[in-house]
Amino acid sequence: MTDKQSNPALRESATFGRDVIAEIQRAAETGIYDIRGWGAKRKVPHFDDLLFLGASMSRYPLEGYREKCGTDVTLGTRYAKKPIVIDTPVTIAGMSFGALSAQAKEALGRGASEVGTSTTTGDGGMTAEERGQSTKLVYQYLPSRYGMNPDDLRKADAIEIVLGQGAKPGGGGMLLGQKISDRVAQMRNLPMGIDQRSACRHPDWTGPDDLAIKIAELREITDWQVPIYIKVGATRTYYDVKLAVKAGADVVVLDGMQGGTAATQDVFIEHVGIPTMAAIPQAAQALQEMGVHREVQLIVSGGIRNGADVAKAIALGADAVAIGTAALIALGDNHPRYEEEYQKLGSAAGYYDDFQEGKCPAGISTQDPELSKRLDPVAAGKRLANYLRVITLEAQTLARACGKSHLHNLEPEDLVALNIEAAAMARVPLAGTNWIPGQQF
């Protein structure tokens, strides 16, 4: 699909491109919509469309590597007796055991713990490996409640109530039969080899007023010790954040449309939700209007790749970010060393997204014992730690350039946009102007 046709007389249709044609042919042949992992692949306005205004005459920069630029974040200061303190604002997002191998989960725990950040369970419950290797573990409370039990709830350092994901706001999950090993089936209390549908709505509450009671229940059960997060996919973010705060959340986790997934319909991944960059200002506005910005912390995810993304998300109002896809890549996902095997699966290194098939050559998105064994949790954990350190340093570099002694001191005023779309979405001026589309001045 990537090679250009050499005959210049052939003209590819912009509407019916070769990828579109291939998908129509695939649909016609199989009668099944395309399910895949990864996040949105289409181009949407993103952090790359923003630039920092470094300090010069009117602002005073900090000396790189010498003057301190703090990176720690405390999450859950609103109600929890034991808030979580992380040393870098980059956390590991919730990814299920089932979608990922036990080795991958362990590696995520190891890497995150090494740099003093948190990791998160996912659909399917908590495994001993990840609890054991994670010094700070967030326990997801999902609609399916697969593997949900109060003993694990009490072992968690925080609880994340999942309302939605950026890859599929309004959708449930699906773990296809081929990934259901004995252990996964047992943890979820289902027969082996069948497709496991995860509901899109919680079974015992509807709407924000019920959610407030649900949060109170979780707090009562855990004796008000640990923070309670609410995770939403980015859609009507301004309202969702207000309702989450009203329902009593300590932390709001906001996942933009680029956010990764283990298995979702392609049409859902590509066509539902709003870009991460567009969602953050809405969330920040909601928090500010309620007087709880920085008191109810905001964790942002969906397409975070490097320190610039981290710094820009924080400047727009986030307290921390979460990464999924980037963490898997750091572990070894899509690595060229497996090129041949990716080819055999009809994919290529850098393109592989069939997480739902359970055949991941890198041993990450699989339950196959032979494939899983390829991932050494210690070495992979080390790579993740390296990567987390790099992006933290990158974010610090940018913050110092803007004269900030802590990442949290970054602000929208430090940013400009490269194009009108980004200026409107991020609510920062178009570079070289003082024009923020949609705002009066």
Partner 1 sequence: MKTYDLSSDSLRELNQALHDADITASEREWRVANPNGAHNIACGLNDAISVDIDGHAGYYCAGMNQKANVTVHGNVGVGVAENMMSGMVHVKGDASQSAGATAHGGLLVVDGNASARCGISMKGVDIVVKGNIGPMSAFMGQSGCLVVCGDAGEALGDSIYEAHIYVKGSVTSLGADCIEKEMRQEHLDEVSDLLKRAGVETDPAAFKRYGSARQLYNFKVDNASAY
Ligand X SMILES: Cc1cc2nc3c(=O)[nH]c(=O)nc-3n(C[C@H](O)[C@H](O)[C@H](O)COP(=O)(O)O)c2cc1C
- Contacting positions for ligand X (CB under 6 A): 37, 39, 93-96, 99-100, 122-123, 140, 162, 165-166, 231, 255, 258-262, 301-304, 323-326, 355, 365
Contact pick of 67, 217, 289, 295 for partner 1 (by CB under 8 A) = 217
Antiparallel, parallel or unpaired: β 251-255 and 158-162:
unpaired
Establish if 195 lies at the interface with partner 1 (CB under 8 A): yes
Establish if 224 lies at the interface with partner 1 (CB under 8 A): yes
Using CA atoms, how far apart are residues 60 and 439, in angstroms rounded to an integer? 28
Would you state the torsion angle of the CA atoms of residues 36, 266, 323, 279, taken in this order, to the nearest 10 degrees?
Answer: -170
Using CA atoms, how far apart are residues 152 and 440, in angstroms rounded to an integer? 51
State the residue number with the nearest CB to ligand X. 324
CB of 168 to partner 1, least distance (A): 16
With contacts defined by CB under 8 A, how many residues of the chain interact with partner 1? 34
Which amino acid is located at 243 in the chain?
L
Contact pick of 117, 134, 144, 265 for partner 1 (by CB under 8 A) = 144
State the DSSP H helix or E strand holding residue 204, giving kind and residue range, or none if neither: none
φ/ψ (deg, to 5) at 226: -110, 155
Based on CB atoms, which residue is closest to partner 1, 24 or 194? Answer: 194
CB of 188 to partner 1, least distance (A): 8
Contact pick of 67, 72, 210, 295 for partner 1 (by CB under 8 A) = 210
Based on CB atoms, which residue is closest to partner 1, 210 or 295? Answer: 210
Using CA atoms, how far apart are residues 55 and 418, in angstroms rounded to an integer? 19
CB of 192 to partner 1, least distance (A): 11
Helix axes 307-315, 377-401, angle to 10 degrees: 50
Based on CB atoms, which residue is closest to ligand X, 134 or 365? Answer: 365
Under 8 Å between Cβ of 307 and 52 = no
Candidate ranges 64-72, 212-220, 280-288, 365-373; the one touching partner 1 (CB under 8 A): 212-220
CB of 140 to partner 1, least distance (A): 14
CB of 195 to partner 1, least distance (A): 5
Establish if 214 lies at the interface with partner 1 (CB under 8 A): yes
Tell me which residues touch partner 1 (CB under 8 A): 30-32, 144-145, 148-151, 153, 176-177, 188-191, 193-195, 197, 199, 203-205, 210, 213-214, 216-217, 220-224
